[in-house]
Amino acid sequence: MSSALVVFSGGQDSTTCLAWAQNRYDHVETITFDYQQKHSIEIEQAKKIAKLVNVSNYIFIIDIFAQLADSALLEVNKEQDINASHHARPNLPASFVPNRNAIFFAIAHAYAQKQGLNHIITGINQTDYSGYPDCREPFVKSLEESLNMGSESNIEFKYPLINLTKAETFQMAKDEGVLDLVLEESHTCYNGDRSVKHEWGYGCGNCPACELRKRGWNEYSGL
């Protein structure tokens, strides 16, 4: 039986990946990380979406990033400007969380071993993204090799959005049958704002995540 674990944030990309996985694997589970991010509404949306599409959702709590306090994306740094550059790495956005994906994927890999799952599905993207270096394909390939070597496993990472634009990701959501779910339930906004519904979904409309999603929707609508 083919099986997969989706690293699931409850956002547009991971919701699209979840549908992609459900349409291709016999058994799918999801794992969501509560790392004390200030937009924790995404965790509630992840739970809701997982329930709606009838998959299990395991919430893994991590406090290491809050202790490091090295990103404007964290609740402990909620007063920092999410639209600014990273305080220590000016070439990166303030929302960058150092080593976040390395830790997420290592935990997901351990969980996949425990559950006997063959693949790990992630929504990383290196084309139309926020500029995070840990969202690039060479990084994930290297990590996959190291994790399998260190555990004598053969778990394969899949990243169906890796070279897609955000507009193409909207198209994939439609093709996989979840565009309405993405628009109504997924959450991407860095400020955790679900008070306003736009054509492209809920969000403040001003943070980098909303700007990226809005631009992608406009491009998708024009296709």
Give the span between the Cα atoms of 198 and 192, in whole angstroms: 14
The domains of the chain are located at 3-221
Question: Do residues 51 and 45 make contact, with C-beta atoms less than 8 angstroms apart?
Answer: no
Give the span between the Cα atoms of 195 and 133, in whole angstroms: 31
Query: Which CATH entry fits the domain spanning 3-221: 3.40.50.300, 3.40.50.720, 3.40.50.620, 3.10.290.10?
Result: 3.40.50.620
Give the span between the Cα atoms of 18 and 55, in whole angstroms: 9
Question: Do residues 137 and 159 make contact, with C-beta atoms less than 8 angstroms apart?
Answer: yes
Judge residue 221's burial from the number of C-beta atoms within 10 Å of its C-beta, 0-12 exposed, 13-18 middle, 19 or more buried.
Answer: exposed
β-partners of residue 166 are: none
Stated pTM of the model: 0.93
| Sequence-separated (6 or more) residues with CB below 8 Å from residue 210 | 188, 189, 190, 203, 204
- The SS3 assignment for 149 reads helix
Q: What is the pLDDT along the chain (223 residues), one digit of tens a residue?
A: 899 999 999 999 999 999 999 999 999 999 999 998 887 899 999 999 999 999 999 999 999 988 988 887 788 877 787 778 887 777 877 788 889 999 999 999 999 999 999 999 999 999 877 778 999 999 999 999 999 999 999 999 999 999 999 999 999 999 999 999 999 999 999 989 999 999 999 999 999 899 999 999 999 998 6
